Amino acid sequence: MSRLIRVALVVGAACAVTAPAFAADFGMADTTYASTEAVPPGGWTFQITPYGWFTGLNGTITTNGRSVSTAVSFSDLVQDSDELIPFMGYMEAGKDRFSIFGDFFYSKVGFSAEKSKQVNPVAGLVLDAKAKASLTTTMTIAQAALAYDVIKQQGTSVAFYGGLRYWDMSSELDLKVKASVKLTNLGLKREGKYAVARSGNVDWVDPVVGLRVRQEITPHDQISILGDIGGFGVGSQFSWQVFGGYTHSWDIGRQTQLALALGYRILSVNYEQGSGTNQQALDLTLHGPLAGLSVRW
């Protein structure tokens, strides 16, 4: 199955099916409990949300058998990276106890040698302390899931959900190399003074199951807690996610609301394929605060 087809299956599922108040990944307010003036009882609800997830990264990235560990905060990325390109957003639609959501995350970042460390060093190959992007990683994560509220009463909802999470990543590792080092058997290519390892695009799809709890504080304020696990050896070996957040909404029209969500999200994955100089692996945790602004009708 081609990468484009996989993306279409995962993201397209969120666009083609409609069912009630999701906001699962980011705990956006459940429109079922919002102002009765803003949302028609028993009707369809829709939501579109651009958001910012200010991610830090911890873990190990392996490219062509060469592993580099990194531990960076979002502020580190902003200050030290010469490549920082993010794009994030989600959409949802729902009715009654069912909800479906689609979420998209794209990021391209460059890690300096000061923020990276070789796990399996080779004599004569070192991360260049003067290089701005000793390791450049591009990552796309797209998720679609269907949720059902097993409890939905008095401003409280508890839902189970299941779906698919698509991952796509590519990485480039730049190592300063001595002229005497032979790269033929190391899975590397020489480009000037650098030995370069490129993974190409590595992608997979994880099945995901999770639990979401939301509690209304007032008709316009809500707290949310979410957790899920996935992979199970189908795509990655294992992945997990937790989120906690707070949402406040405003009525801006007869059946339209504007909502602000603040929270903290952690997403972790352990993936591996190939061996030796063909090994591509990701043992990484993304974490950080997030903020989103959504329109619901």
CA 286 to chain centroid: 7
Q: State the burial class of residue 240 (Cβ atoms within 10 Å of its Cβ: 0-12, 13-18, 19+).
A: middle
- In angstroms, the CA 66 to CA 197 distance is 8
CA 29 to chain centroid: 20
pLDDT for position 238: 97
81-108 pLDDT, tens digit per residue, is 555 567 799 888 888 889 998 999 998 8
Domain boundaries, the chain: 3-296
- In angstroms, the CA 193 to CA 164 distance is 42
- In angstroms, the CA 91 to CA 102 distance is 5
pLDDT for position 201: 74
pLDDT for position 8: 42
pLDDT for position 93: 85
* CA dihedral of residues 202, 204, 209, 212 (deg, nearest 10): 40
> Which residues, given as ranges, of the chain have pLDDT below 70?
1-42, 77-85, 110-134, 173-200, 277
Q: What is the pTM of this model?
A: 0.75
Is CATH 2.40.128.100 what the domain over 3-296 is classified as, yes or no? yes
User: Of 114, 129, 138, 139, whose CA–CA distance to 175 is shortest?
Assistant: 129
pLDDT for position 14: 38
pLDDT for position 212: 94
217-233 pLDDT, tens digit per residue, is 999 999 999 999 999 99
